[in-house]
Structure 1
Amino acid sequence: MLVNIVIVAIVAIFVIFGLRNGFIKWMAVTLGIIIGFWLASQKYLVLEKFLLGLVHSSEKAHIIGFFLVFLLFFFIIVLIGYLLSKVVNLTLLGWLDRLLGAIFGLVAGLIFVWLLLVLAITLQPQSQRPLSKSALAPRILEAGQKVSGLPLGQKIRKKYLTFAPKPLLFEGLCPSNSLSFKPESGLFEGDKNLPKADG
């Protein structure tokens, strides 16, 4: 129950943040990080001569130069997004910007929760038991694995597969112990002792 509450709270924070700030600001921050990082990796040497006179170390000059270039372009892009968002909110499209921001926040929140769950089952194996009792964690883990397509190791894959919910289709049609989940195959297998259907 506590795991579900934490998951809902985290996702709700992202949705509210997206609703208040809008899609344009969300994208501005995202693009600011991506573009700022790329430009910093290309242009950090521009400040080398200036920084060498201050820190007297080529390695430190490179690191400081990288972060200065990154922050410069990051804040420029975020500022452009902020101004563009203000213009949009003055029009009738402000509601659409906020709606898209909430949707973007929902997706970002689910991705963030998925990353936390992956870290939990990878670094803290004992967390598998409380997570397996959650109604949300298993589904988020399964969906995240399918979407990401990450080449997870066999040990981690088994942890994922143990979260697989039993299909509701078979409930009431056969005994509860007639199906068992096989992590190796990723399938539910029936009891071999059950009578086979004719035909």
Structure 2
Amino acid sequence: MTAIDFGVIAIMLIFLARGIWVGFIRQLASLAALILGYLFAGRYYEQISPRLSFLIPSPQISFLVTYALLFLAVFVGVLAIGYVLKKVMSLSLLGWFDRFMGGLFGLVKAGVVVTVLFMVMSGLLADSNP
């Protein structure tokens, strides 16, 4: 086995362990929080930013602060929902299923990471880049 093989195995084991530790619900909630925070902030920051003009006179800084606050609010809200769902799962004795699915989801994420790394490496190590 080569160093690349050991690296792939290490990545897979790390993502598997983290998936089992965190669980499927929290992993899915964190992914959804990132996506929804980005979408929501991108959609509504222009409408909310002018309302902060009395606090922040610069329009550029106002847009930046509004975007960051909207993203953070949605992110924290979705994570809180994920936390509640995880507690419900553990109370209903489905905690083992959450951890099992978290491990599988972790392996899928590791597969994506390894694939992207191989794509980048093959592009960088190719004889001629187009």
TM-score, with normalisation over the residues of structure 2? 0.86
Give me the whole-angstrom Cα distance separating, in 1, the residues matched to 2:91 and 2:46: 41
Describe how 1:54-69 pairs up with structure 2 within 5 A. 54-69=55-70
Deviations 1:40-79 (A, max 9, x none): 1111124423544455332232222112211110111011
Name the CA distance, whole Å, in 1 between partners of 2:118 and 2:56: 41
Number of matched residues?
128
The 5-angstrom pairing of residues 2-21 of structure 1 reads: 2-21=3-22
The structure that is helix-richer by fraction is 2
Structure 1: stretches of 5+ with no match in the other structure: 129-154, 157-199
Q: Which runs of 4+ in 1 moved over 4 A?
A: none
| Cα shift readout 1:141-199 (whole Å, capped 9, x = no counterpart) | xxxxxxxxxxxxxx68xxxxxxxxxxxxxxxxxxxxxxxxxxxxxxxxxxxxxxxxxxx
Alignment of 1:18-167 (within 5 A): 18-49=19-50, 51-122=52-123, 124-125=124-125
Q: Using a 3 Å threshold, how does the CA distance of structure 1 residues 77 and 125 change in structure 2: closer, same or farther?
A: same
C-alpha RMSD over aligned residues: 2.0
Larger RCO: Structure 1 or Structure 2 (Cα < 8 Å, ≥ 6 residues apart)?
2
Identity in percent = 31
Provide the C-alpha distance between the structure 1 equivalents of 2:55 and 2:12, rounded to a whole number of angstroms.
44
Which blocks of at least 5 consecutive residues in structure 2 are unaligned? none
Q: Higher Cα Rg: structure 1 or 2?
A: 1
